[in-house]
Amino acid sequence: MQTINMHDAKTQLSRLVELAVQGEDFIIAKAGKPLVKVSRVDAPAPKLKRKTGFMLGQISVPDDFDMMGQAEIDALFY
């Protein structure tokens, strides 16, 4: 694992990021003192997209859906 001076890390950031992406970790140091270790981040697996309408025709909603249980509700509140 190589150690890179802070100034060099600033001037060569793009090249260093490519090294990290390829799996080569490195350490950034200031005045010879190691400060941080840089390594690649493994991205999480992409989530599956939800499809709208994938159950079309498999479910039916009764015509009186909004009135279901109305007698019980009326008895409780009125």
What confidence score (pLDDT) does residue 45 get? 78
What confidence score (pLDDT) does residue 18 get? 93
What confidence score (pLDDT) does residue 44 get? 77
- Measured distance CA(5)–CA(47) in Å, rounded: 39
- This prediction's pTM: 0.53
What confidence score (pLDDT) does residue 50 get? 81
Q: What is the pLDDT of residues 11-31, one digit of tens each?
A: 999 999 999 999 999 999 999
- Going along the chain from its start, the domains and CATH numbers come out as 2-38 (3.40.1620.10)
Query: What are the residue ranges in the chain where pLDDT is below 50?
Result: none
Cβ neighbourhood burial of 49 (10 Å; 0-12, 13-18, 19+): exposed
- Measured distance CA(21)–CA(64) in Å, rounded: 59
- Measured distance CA(16)–CA(19) in Å, rounded: 5
